[in-house]
Amino acid sequence: MLTSPHLLGIKDLDAESIDLIVKTAKEFKEVLNRPIKKVPSLRDVTIANVFFENSTRTRLSFELAEKRLSADTINFSASGSSVKKGETLLDTVNNILAMKVDMIVMRHASPGAPHYLAKHIKANIINAGDGTHEHPTQALLDTYSLREKFGDLAGKKIAIIGDILHSRVALSNIYALKKQGAEVRLCGPSTLIPKHIQSLGVEVSHDVKSTLAWCDAANVLRIQLERQQIKYFPSLREYAQTFGITRKMLDELPKEIVLMHPGPINRGVELSSDAADSPHSIILDQVENGVAIRMAVLYLLASRG
């Protein structure tokens, strides 16, 4: 059983909980390959997907996971809502809860927004991304996809390459990978790697070629221009030249590595098209596994009653 009624971040999750979620997701992946891909477990549960920030994959993935579990769902997005009229976060969510909702899946631009909600409301809260802080279900589906490839992650070398500073995927992945005993190396321009990040037990490199040669799997991240108020590097073209990964670089490596990306990909910037579509890439497996992982998280949180 999960120790917390919420999934706010990987930081508060222990290794056993990660194992439990991955093990449960494995059974849900089997369900998703049945002729009828739906189970009745959550038929008495109502879930609100509350998205204060844009999302394609995560939102569709959560919605599909909820429907596969037979939950009732309602969707809320900040654009075109009363948020624009000045309603506070707590008021918005309390109004949704007044309609007898059991669980809230929330994405918000402010780090800590789901943690704040968890203190003030009674429903189960799942963080679907809070600003530059955490994105726990993404790290769990990355873990699941890596375990499908490698089995155990202990001692495996995982590189996270790109805009670490603005990435909630990076932070959640660092926590998840370290808890499972993997070695983690971050790679990117020094302006996009947070100071003191080594205190989390990770290595830092600024050379993408040697990082690719070192790792068993590379998780490549997008440059998050929407979160960058100042210029962190001279131009996207220069970034692509220095940190972009091409098919040629992958083919020249002494061993085959696994290539991941949480999406959306900026083709030609962090990944060339031929690299993104190469056999190294498990990007679409990640998306498939995302539904199973989210079903597992919803199921395990709901099972606490």
The footprint of other proteins (CB under 8 A) covers 1, 20, 23-24, 26-27, 30-31, 34-41, 44-45, 299-300, 302-305
With respect to other proteins, which residue has the nearer C-beta, 23 or 209?
A: 23
With respect to other proteins, which residue has the nearer C-beta, 140 or 161?
A: 140
In the complex, minimum distance from the CB of residue 204 to other proteins, in angstroms, rounded to a whole number = 39
Q: Residue 124 is inside which H or E element, if any? A: strand 124-130
CA distance 157 to 150: 11
The residues facing 281 across adjacent strands are 259
CA distance 36 to 19: 27
With respect to other proteins, which residue has the nearer C-beta, 38 or 237?
A: 38
User: 3-state class of 119 per DSSP?
Assistant: helix
| Angle, alpha carbons 169-179-149 (nearest 5°) | 70
Q: Which two tokens stand for residue 109?
A: 């631009």
Task: Spell out the residues 6+ positions from residue 157 whose beta carbon is closer than 8 angstroms to its own.
Answer: 182, 183, 185, 214, 215, 216, 217
CA distance 36 to 293: 18
Name which of 153, 209, 163 is nearest 184 in CA terms: 153
In the complex, minimum distance from the CB of residue 80 to other proteins, in angstroms, rounded to a whole number = 34
In the complex, minimum distance from the CB of residue 296 to other proteins, in angstroms, rounded to a whole number = 9
In the complex, minimum distance from the CB of residue 23 to other proteins, in angstroms, rounded to a whole number = 8
In the complex, minimum distance from the CB of residue 147 to other proteins, in angstroms, rounded to a whole number = 15
Q: Residue 24 is inside which H or E element, if any? A: helix 15-31
With respect to other proteins, which residue has the nearer C-beta, 71 or 215?
A: 71
In the complex, minimum distance from the CB of residue 42 to other proteins, in angstroms, rounded to a whole number = 8
In the complex, minimum distance from the CB of residue 300 to other proteins, in angstroms, rounded to a whole number = 7
Strand order, beta sheet including 258-260: 203-205, 183-187, 157-161, 217-220, 258-260
With respect to other proteins, which residue has the nearer C-beta, 37 or 209?
A: 37
CB-CB contact of 239 with 198 (8 Å): no
With respect to other proteins, which residue has the nearer C-beta, 1 or 230?
A: 1
With respect to other proteins, which residue has the nearer C-beta, 254 or 305?
A: 305
Taking residue 228's Cβ as centre, other Cβ atoms within 10 Å add up to 15
